[in-house]
Amino acid sequence: MVSAPAAISSDSQTTTRMSAGNITFFPPQPASPASDGPGSESRAPGLIEIAGLDFYYGEKKALDGINLSIEANRVTAFIGPSGCGKSTLLRCLNRMNDLIEDAGIRRGSIKIGGADINARGVDPIELRKRIGMVFQKSNPFPKSIYENIAYGLRIQGFKNKAEIDSRVEASLRNAALWNEVNDRLHDNALGLSGGQQQRLCIARALAVEPQVILMDEPCSALDPIATAKIEELIHELKKRYTIIIVTHSMQQAARVSDRTAFFYLGRLVEYGGTRAIFMNPSNPQTEAYVSGRFG
C-alpha cells in the first residue's frame, strides 16, 4: 500500500457515517471523481442498494435498519464480531435465508441492478443463478470435479456436452485450478485438498457466470498458503465480477477489499473505503474493533 496519507484522509470524508444507534441513511454521494482508494471509484448508484433493512430470526432482530450501497466490480468486505449479522446480510442478497423457517425480512428493501429481489414475482432460483456464493466451509458435492462444475450448468439448462466441457475448463482456469486438476477431472472432488476444494467451489460458482459473487468467510478453514492463493484469485476476479466477502480476518479485509462495512450487533456502524476504515475510522467502535481491542 503506497497511497499518500492525504488520499487516506480524503477517503475518510467519503465514508458513510452513522452512529450505532442511528438508522438514518446517507445516500451514496453523487459521482465525483474520487482520488482516494485504489483504482478509480465512481459514485454512481451502486449495483446493490440496501435500504432500511430489518431482518428477524423468529422474534429476534438480527439486522436493524441496514442501508448500504455496493458498487459493481469492486470487492466489498463485511467485517464485525461474531453474531453481528454480516453473514445474515450476505445471505439476504441471494435469499438463502428463505431456507430458514421463521426467518425473514420485516422491513426495507434490497435492489440489485434496480430490481427489488424480494418483490412479488421474483424467483429466488433465478436470483441465485446470477448471484454466486462461496461458503465458509468448502462444500463440493460428492461427485467428480467435472460433475461439480457441470451441475450448475445443467441446472441452468445446458445440454451440449462440448459447451459444458469448455465452460468447465474456463471456470477451472479462472479459479486457477485447471493446472492442478486437468488430469483428474473425473476423480472425486472430496479427494482434493481443502484449498483446492474451496477454489473448486469458486470455479463452480463462476461456471454459471454470475454478476455478483458472495463469499462467506471463504478462507476461514484454510492454511495461509491456500488463503493467499484465494486472495490472489479474488484480485483477478474483481475485474469481471462484483464480489462481497464476509471475513473475520481484518488483515484479509484490508488486503483484498476496496470498500469495507463494519457491523456490530446487527447494525451497520461504518462503511467506506477500506483504507479509511482501517487507518482512520470515524466511529470509536470501529476503531476498537479494527485495532483489535474486542471481537
Give the residues lining the site for other proteins (CB under 8 A).
94, 96, 99, 101, 112-115, 117, 121-130, 132-133, 135, 137-143, 151-152, 155-157, 190, 197, 201, 204-205, 208, 211, 214
Q: How many residues does the chain have?
A: 295
Q: How far is the CB of 166 from other proteins (least distance, A)?
A: 19
Output 99 or 225, the one with its CB closest to other proteins: 99
Taking only Cα atoms into account, the Rg of the chain, rounded to an integer number of angstroms, comes to 19
**Nearest-angstrom CA–CA distance, 118 and 109:** 7
Q: How far is the CB of 151 from other proteins (least distance, A)?
A: 7
Closest CA to 277 of 62, 32, 22, 8: 8
Question: Which amino acid is present at 139?
Answer: N
Output 112 or 268, the one with its CB closest to other proteins: 112
Q: How far is the CB of 245 from other proteins (least distance, A)?
A: 15
| Widest CA span in the chain | 56
Question: Which amino acid is present at 133?
Answer: M
Q: Which set of grid coordinates corresponds to residue 268?
A: 451497520
Output 18 or 245, the one with its CB closest to other proteins: 245
Output 194 or 295, the one with its CB closest to other proteins: 194
Q: How far is the CB of 148 from other proteins (least distance, A)?
A: 9
**End-to-end CA gap in the chain:** 25
